[in-house]
Chain A
Amino acid sequence: MSKVLLRYELLALLRDTRTIFLSVLLPIVLLPILLYTLNRFGQRVGGQFDDVYNIGRVIPSPGLDVIVDDALSPRTFREMQVEDGQAMLKEGHLDLLIKVLPPKEKEPELAEDILKMYPGFAPLLSQKPKGRPTLELLYRSDKERSVRAYVQASRDLHQFRDALLAEYLRRQNVSLGVRIRAEDVSTPQQRAAHQYGPALSAFMVLMLLGGGSVAALDSLAGERERGTLSTLFVSSISRREIALSKFAAVALISVAVALIQILNLGAYVFFGFVKWPLNAALPAGIGGLMVLLTLFTVEAIFTASLLLYISARSSSFKEAQLFFFPTFLVAFALSLSGLMPALVSRSVVSLIPLSGPGVFIPELLSGRLDLPVFFLQVAVHLGFAYLLLRSTLERMEREDFLGGQAPVFGKALLFEHFSQRTLPFFALLCAALFVIPSNFEALASLQGQGLFNQLILFLLAPYLLLKYYGQSLKDVVPFKMVDLRILLICLLLIPLGQLAATGLSHLLGPLLPAPVKALEMMMELLDIENTPAWQLYLLIGVMPGICEEFAFRGVLLHSLHKRFSPWMLAFVVALVFGFFHVNFFRVMPTAYLGFIMALLTLSTGSVLPAMMVHIGNNSLAVWAMKNSVDFEGMPEYVYFLSFLAQIALVYAVMKLGKGYPGTRWARGKTK
């Protein structure tokens, strides 16, 4: 990194009035408005208002005046003289109008219902129950005050009526059965953490993205457009130094802006302009605070590298702004992960940048510090930041980065586009896999999910992608016969893979435990007892073996085979494959199997062995479940030996196979 460049970058950025205005001044003005709105929204949800509402009563309402007077506190409800209450409500002079409807003759249905629930009430209801008048509350749902008045009055009147009823029953010596009492055992810290923790993470991401955006977008895209980047490129500092210096400048600006906004927020809270009980939810001790700050720092590093990457991808400042907007929305949405119910940090969410802290921070604020998850999230953020920075540098080192001619054309250009778009495409598929089946009842079953996931997501969608980019099916998904010895080895790999993956689950168990609920849900979905065996083998064994191999070891692997070395390629494909297995505890074992299958494809130049192993492995799992065979309870050395045997067999396949065309492992190029 060049310190001189960093210094001058910061100088130029700080002199940019856009940076100061958009990143510092505007949030200072907007923050109290935002907080006020959030507070009002929170109060509305919780019904915690101190307002006094105007109510009217349609006169006469004999017998109920006392109830209304006793139930509704004059501190909350101010009664107004009304002549035409409906008109006043319509004009907005009244928030609530109370009207009395005369009693009905009798309420036999009510009596029957009560007797069904509480047979002990029989003596009381032996007489024909008398009708009772109805108290009607008229309000306007388009007026917030009116809605609040209705909610408050309704609550007060119901409480009052229940108290009266209870008192009456007590006098009649009727037992009310059980007493229901609720008590919130959470501490104020935990409640504040639950309420504000998710917002804290989202707020930080908002500030980091907002603060660094102008600086980052201008830093490469803007400078490229103005020609200053050319000037820098002909200086004696390398492009790596330029990239790192610019990254450091953006990260520093992001952090500085975030700190300014934290101080800004603190000032508003300190002077009482806004209420935000952050003090109730600060992490305990220096350690907790350090963890929080470290997470914010790695988030800043990640957002800075993300912004710089967008800038490097764009040929002008305007184009960078166009890219920034959707990125901003996605990043902000990810940071709101803490709002998702029942999501815990020991889940796949910890592998997603910005999402992990969204869940982790509320847990931390409520007093639970999970160090392994914390280190994982730090590593994830730094890892993604590194990949983004590397991609930025690769772009900067391209000959056409400063404009000029496209380096490739024709089919090669189509392949390059295919290669660049596949990973985002698979990210979309992954999102669809998470969202669609869980929101459509028809897809909630094993059959529905199996057909939708396999046929639509893993077969049809990747097929359309490769056709769109004019790729040949034969090249992308090479389904070629391989050496018979390889097929025999694959047969051996099936049980070995099952055992090795089980051993890996044991190894990762303490770090990534399988939630009981998730296992129960999975078993409920499979419904081993009632689902016909042929459906289980087809939906879990055969179809994933064909369709998932088509998508992952076919389309995904081929699209990336020129961008990565074979080992790295197998790793990337395996990781993506793992991510598709929804539950965090399943990611690593499935990624491991995915890695083995990617190695088989890369070694043989055909997806056939991987399909065979995949079908065999899944079918074996189905067979084990149907026949109550447990792979879990074996001695640990069995798993270890299976793992070693698997390595030896994969090595043998690598030696026997012809290699994947276009990679270093292709026959003739392998040393």
Chain B
Amino acid sequence: MDAETNQIESVVDDQQEKEPVPPRETRIKVRDLVKVFQDEGRGQLTAVADVSFECYSGEIFGLLGTNGAGKTTTLRMLSTLLKPTSGEASVMGHEVTSQSQQVRRSIGYLSTTTALYPRLSCRETLDFFARINGYPESKIEERVNHLVDRFGLSDYADARIERLSTGMTQKVAIARTVAHDPPVVILDEPTNGLDILNVLDFHKLMRELQAAGKTVLFSTHTMSEAEKLCDRIAVIHRGRILACGTLDELRERSGHRYLEDIFVWLLDQHGEEAGPELETM
């Protein structure tokens, strides 16, 4: 067993190590999801229109689109922060509208709008989020220690968040997201603002999560990141999914090798222009 595998095992708890996750279990199911905002100045604004996709266990699923394409709105609906106007969405079999609490217990959600308590230390932050998300009390200390080690936070474990650098804070934020060891991790543009080393470290973490059988749903507008990480990609533009599949499937369908070209080809196919977009929701 090499060093990387050791690290992969350290991010999941003992229980999960003993019970391997069955392959291809559907963890996220989205059917005809619509979100319409009503705006005083602009009238009705459809941010997400008839979006459908599924995500499986042990899969990294990317939502790829430009700014304002509807990625954040979709993820916010899945994390129960927004209510869908119509359509269905479920996480781990729980409906996002009627079983929101169970959904939130099953996910770890990270976005640019989620922040940490500046006056808590790293250790307290991880302890707090593990507890409120219902992680077994007897295992919390062990879990926190695991995460502190995994994310290289040992030297700063008792330092308050407000005294950490941006990179360290982001590490704690990610550790917070998986503190309760959720089966589904939803990440909204997680590498925005990170330097290259932190981005690489983050990519490694995603691989670890995937290897541990977690479902990772993340949004990005960086084509290379999607190419590198995703098992499957959904290209979203102006609230609609233009295509969904593995990179090879998209290549085959478009006849282009690179995702950038595939993206432009898809816009052409759907009569869309890569012009000014809607604001991020």
Contact = CB atoms under 8 A, between A and B. Distances in A.
Interface string B101-132: 11011010101011111111000100011011
A234 B109 contact: yes
Most B C-beta atoms less than 10 A away, residue of A226, A403, A404: A404
A565 interface: no
A491 interface: no
B115 A399 contact: no
A444 B128 CA distance: 63
Contacts, number: 87
A227 interface: yes
A231 interface: yes
Contacts of B111: 230
A227 B114 contact: yes
A227 B117 CA distance: 9
B37 interface: yes
B275 to A, nearest CB: 22
A12 B105 contact: no
A231 B38 contact: no
A410 interface: yes
A405 B114 contact: no
Contacts of B82: 399, 404
A165 B222 CA distance: 104
Q: How large is the interface on B (under 10, 10 to 19, 20 to 34, 35 or more residues)?
A: 35 or more
Interface stretch (B39-47, B146-154, B235-243): B39-47
A404 B37 contact: yes
Interface in A123-160: none
B124 A8 contact: yes
B107 A228 contact: no
A234 B81 contact: yes
Interface string B192-229: 00000000000000000000000000000000000000
Contacts of A403: 113
A199 to B, nearest CB: 36
Interface stretch (A187-195, A235-243, A252-260, A546-554): A235-243
Contacts of A15: 119, 160
B80 interface: yes
A16 interface: yes
Contact of A234 (B39, B80, B118, B119): B80
Given A231-B176, A236-B104, A236-B134, A402 B113 contact: yes
Nearest to A413: B40
B132 A2 contact: yes
A408 B119 contact: no
A604 to B, nearest CB: 33
Nearest to B44: A409
B274 interface: no
A407 interface: yes
A238 B281 CA distance: 23
B131 A4 contact: yes
A11 interface: yes
A233 interface: yes
Contacts of B41: 409
B273 to A, nearest CB: 24
Contacts of A408: 38, 40
B79 interface: yes
Contacts of B83: 399
A233 B114 CA distance: 9
A152 B39 CA distance: 71
Contacts of A238: 101
B26 interface: no
Contact of B114 (A16, A231, A409): A231
A171 B45 CA distance: 102
B145 interface: no
B120 A231 contact: no
Given A234-B107, A236-B104, A406 B40 contact: yes
Contact of B129 (A235, A404, A406): A235
Contacts of A406: 38-40
A18 to B, nearest CB: 11
B246 interface: no
Interface in B65-82: 79-82
B39 to A, nearest CB: 5
A82 interface: no
A4 B135 CA distance: 12
Contacts of B7: none
Given A4-B128, A235-B129, A230 B81 contact: yes
Interface in A375-419: 399, 402-410, 413
A467 B111 CA distance: 44
B43 to A, nearest CB: 7
A408 to B, nearest CB: 6
A228 B41 CA distance: 29
A1 interface: no
Contact of B120 (A8, A233, A402): A8
B80 A236 contact: no
Interface string B24-55: 00000000000001111101010000000000
B115 A228 contact: yes
B133 interface: yes
A234 B104 contact: yes
Contacts of A405: 37-39, 45, 281
B240 to A, nearest CB: 19
A16 B101 CA distance: 30
Contacts of B37: 404-405
Interface in B218-276: none
Contacts of A237: 101, 132
A238 B133 CA distance: 11
A366 B111 CA distance: 60
Nearest to B112: A227
A575 interface: no
A5 interface: yes
B119 to A, nearest CB: 4
A404 B281 contact: yes
A8 B121 CA distance: 11
A16 B232 CA distance: 45
A284 B281 CA distance: 62
Contacts of B117: 8, 12, 228
B104 A235 contact: yes
Given A404-B37, A404-B281, A228 B104 contact: no
Contact of A233 (B81, B105, B131, B281): B81
Most B C-beta atoms less than 10 A away, residue of A8, A12, A231: A231
Contacts of B104: 234-236
Contacts of B114: 227-228, 230-231, 234
A242 to B, nearest CB: 9
Nearest to A17: B119
Most A C-beta atoms less than 10 A away, residue of B79, B102, B117: B117
A142 B129 CA distance: 64
Nearest to A236: B105
Contact of A402 (B81, B132, B134): B81
A412 to B, nearest CB: 8
B133 A236 contact: yes
A409 B40 contact: yes
A230 B112 CA distance: 10
Contact of A12 (B79, B120, B132, B180): B120
Most A C-beta atoms less than 10 A away, residue of B79, B83, B132: B132
A238 B99 CA distance: 11
Given A11-B119, A234-B79, A236-B180, 11 more contacts: A15-B119, A228-B116, A234-B107, A234-B109, A236-B132, A236-B133, A236-B134, A399-B82, A404-B82, A405-B45, A407-B38
5 contacts: A8-B128, A226-B118, A227-B115, A228-B114, A236-B133
- In the A-B complex, list the 10 residue pairs whose CB atoms are closest, starting with the nearest: A227-B115, A405-B37, A409-B40, A236-B105, A234-B109, A15-B119, A231-B114, A4-B131, A236-B104, A230-B114
Interface of A: 2, 4-5, 8, 11-12, 15-16, 226-228, 230-238, 399, 402-410, 413
Interface of B: 37-41, 43, 45, 79-83, 101-102, 104-105, 107, 109, 111, 113-120, 124, 128-129, 131-134, 160, 176, 180, 281
